[in-house]
Amino acid sequence: MRIQNALGDLHPVHRSRPDMPLKLTPEQCATLKNLYVKTDIGVLDCLGEILGVGDFDEVEKHAVELDVPSGKCRVLDLDTLIVAKQAVGRDRDLLAV
């Protein structure tokens, strides 16, 4: 629900259904694993876990903080990103590795 509230001014919609505004209920949020959203400023993937890495707590252990023009942002360190891309195994991810 906090993600929905934070994105409210950016006109969020479900990425696979751009005609469907993001209007989640607490009951839906309790069962969501992943959320794919399109906003006025781009797309956002909210993942319950990252294949090859794990859940939020495990991902957080492998995150580094970067300064970006809009502020600070935490991202996976390079070694962990490589592990995740290898675990997904798509051609484009393996090519990136």
Per-residue pLDDT of 50-70, as tens digits, reads 999 999 999 999 999 999 998
CA 13 – CA 68 distance, rounded (Å): 25
Q: Which residues, in sequence order, are CB contacts of 95 under 8 Å at separation 6+? A: none
Is the full-model pTM beyond 0.75? no
What pLDDT score does 90 carry?
Answer: 94
- In the chain, which ranges are E strands? 13-14, 17-21, 34-39, 42-47, 49-50, 54-55, 63-68, 71-76
